[in-house]
Amino acid sequence: MKQINQIYINGEFVTPHGNEMMNLINPVTEQVAAQVRLADETDTRQAIAAAKAAYATFSRTSKAQRIQYLQQLHDAVLARADELEVVMSAEYGGSLAMVQGTVARSSGAFLQAIKLLNEYDFVRQIGRAKVVMEPLGVVGLITPWNANYGFICNKMATALAAGSTVVIKPSELSAGQTQLLTECLHAAGLPAGVFNIVTGRGDVVGAEMTRHPDIAKISFTGSTLVGKTIARDAVDTLKRVTLELGGKSPNILLPDADLAKAIPLALAVGTMNNGQACIAGTRLLVPQERLEEVKTQLLQAVANVKVGDPTQADTQIGPLVTAKQYARVQNYIRLGIEEGAELLCGGEGRPEGLDSGYFVKPTVFVNVTPDMTIAREEIFGPVLSVLTYCTVEEAVQMANNTVYGLQAYVSGENRQQAREVAAQIIAGRVFVNGMYDEPDAPFGGFKQSGLGREFGTYGLEAYLEPKTLIDDE
C-alpha cells in the first residue's frame, strides 16, 4: 500500500508531527489505495513561521523576480502534466476531459499571474498622494478535493504575484495528488518558506490557520457551512477573507430556446465533474408549454451519457469521490421521490453493469417545485431538477429564489432578450448560450455563495492593501 507520510515546510519534505493516519479509498474499486499521515497544529505553526520568515525578503522582490519564479512554477508543473493526470484520475475519478482540463489550467494559472504582473501598476498617483498596493503578509489557502491542482495553483499564483507567502491546506482526500504536485512545485526552486503545504483536517490545520495571528488572509473554497465558520473565527484577528462557497445554479431555457442545443448543454453543465461542482447548473427552468419537449430531449440526451471507468476516453461521468458523498447523493434522490417530484430517469443505486464503485445514475426530476429540498440544497452529484414557469418574469424570480448566487445560465435564440434576462439574475457569473473560459474575469458569488472575487485584477487586489503616502511637496 502506498504511504504518504510527508508534508512540505520551509523548502523541505518533512515527516508530520501529527500521527493520525487516514485511508484513501479508490472510488472505482472501493479498495484502500493509500494511507496518509495527517499534519496537526504543531506542523501548521511551523509552516506559518517559515512563511513569515520568508515574507520579509519575498515581499520586497521586484515584478521581474516574481515573474521569473512564476515561470519556473509553470514549467515545473507542465513538465509532469501526464503524471498529474494519471494520479488525479485514479484518486479522484474525474473523466479524462475533466482531468486534462484541470491540469492544463493548473500550469496555466502561473502564466495568467505573469500576465497580470506585466499589466498591473502597484504605484498610482492620486492628487498629491502616492498610493502603493502592498502585499498582505502570510496568506492561508484552504482548497477542496474536487479540482485539487487547479485550486492550489490558482490561489498560490495570485498570492505570490502580489508578494505574499503562503501556507496551503489542501483536502486530505487529495493527498496523492498533492504529493505529486508538491514535488513539481519544489522542483521550481523557489526560496525556502515562500510556499508551504500542510495536509490535514480542516478542523485541525484549517482551524489553526484561521485563528493564528500571523496569518493575514484566508482564501477558502468549499462549503458554505465551513465558510461561515472561517469568517466567524477570522474576526478575532480581523483577517481578510475570500470565500468561494456553494451554489444552486439556475439554467433558464427561454421560450424560444433551441432545445437541440440547449438540452445537451443543460445536461453537461448540470453533471460536470461527475456533478461535483459548485457551478453546476442543477436547476433547469423551462417554459410550462415546452415541458413535454424538454422531457423527450432530456431522455435522449441522458441515454447517450456513458457512466463508468474514468480512464476511458468516452466516459463522461465517473464515480463520486467517497462512500460518504455517494450516500449523500442517494439520500437526496430518495428525498426527491418522497417529496413528490417525478423521476424522469435515473434514481437510486448504481447504473446497470456497475456492481461496485461510487457511481450514480444520471438522475433527472421533473415537476419539481421551488420548495422541494432538491430545488434548494446543493446535492453535489449528477442530479438535475426541472422546474417550470409561465412567464419570463417568473423564471427570473425563480432563478433568484435561492440563498446562493454563484453562477447561472441562460439559453435563447433572441440574444437581446437572453442578455436582458442574464442581467437580472443575481449571480457572480452568468453565461448566455454556452459556457466559456475567460480567466481574467472575476469569479465569486453573491449572497451565501461567498465573499470577494478570484481571477484577474479583482483576484490580485484581494491579496493587496492600499497604502497612501502624502508628503509636503
Q: Which residue numbers are catalytic?
A: 244
3-class DSSP assignment, residue 385: strand
Q: Are strands 20-25 and 138-142 parallel, antiparallel or unpaired?
A: unpaired
Rounded to the nearest 10 degrees, how much is the dihedral formed by the CA atoms of 71, 429, 148, 262? -110
In Å, what is the CA distance from 471 to each residue of 117, 147, 468? 28, 48, 10
Q: How far apart are CA 152 and CA 109, in angstroms?
A: 10
3-class DSSP assignment, residue 270: helix
Q: How far apart are CA 440 and CA 449, in angstroms?
A: 20
3-class DSSP assignment, residue 265: helix
Q: Of all helices (H) and strands (E), which one includes residue 167?
A: strand 165-169
State the cell numbers at 176: 496523492
AA identity, residue 234: A
Q: Of all helices (H) and strands (E), which one includes residue 388?
A: strand 383-389
Residue 213 phi/psi, 5-degree rounding, is -70, -20
> How does 2-11 read in b/e, with b if 16+ C-beta sit within 10 Å?
eebebbbbbb
| Cβ–Cβ < 8 Å for 31, 63 | no
> Sign (positive/negative) of CA torsion 138, 144, 149, 155?
negative
E strand spans, 91-142: 123-126, 129-135, 138-142
